[in-house]
Amino acid sequence: MKIPCAFAIIFGLILIAPCTWAAVELSALEGAQLSEIQKLSIAEKQFDIARLLIKEGLFDRVLPEMRKILDLNLQGEHEQLVAESASLLAHLLTENKQYPLGHELLDETISRMKSVDNIASLLKIKAYVYKSEGKLRKARETLERAVEMESQRALP
């Protein structure tokens, strides 16, 4: 009688969603000091999870996955990868008419960025979301803000 019970437990573990395993991996490593390679590997998996959640229509779970990427605090050249991930997710959310969620994702990402170039790029995506919503004035104002940021950076 113990064999069927053990089989049920093992079978149950096999059925656990891949995103659960990624969360387990992330929580297990939180206490440890992660290398940049480990952080990038985790970020890549979290991005893939978020993308799949969008395809499944599980929009309420996308932002928590993006926050896991942001919490890795990737900096320097890797910050651009975080910005690109947020851009792609916001684009997918916009295609699915999830405009408020796209804005929230971009706003949270912008607040964590240090690079003016990354902030300006994310503002351009934010303008795209506004344009897709039909909010043309907000789109224009957001693009003007991006241009102003880039112009100020260029001044000596």
Q: Residue 10 has which token pair?
A: 């093992």
What residue type is 147 in one-letter code?
Answer: V
113 belongs to a structural domain: yes
pLDDT at 154: 65
143 belongs to a structural domain: yes
Q: Which domain holds residue 65?
A: 35-154
123 belongs to a structural domain: yes
* 73 three-class SS: coil
Whichever domain contains 41, its CATH number is 1.25.40.10
**Total count of domains within the chain:** 1
122 belongs to a structural domain: yes
* 125 three-class SS: helix
pLDDT at 107: 98
pLDDT at 153: 77
Residues 6+ apart with CB under 8 A from 127: 138, 139, 140, 142, 143, 146
10 belongs to a structural domain: no
75 belongs to a structural domain: yes
Q: Splitting the chain (156 residues) into consecutive groups of 10 residues, what average pLDDT does each group show?
A: 38 38 47 85 97 98 97 94 97 98 98 96 98 98 95 74
Whole-number Cα distances in Å, 77 to 13, 73, 127: 38, 12, 24
26 belongs to a structural domain: no
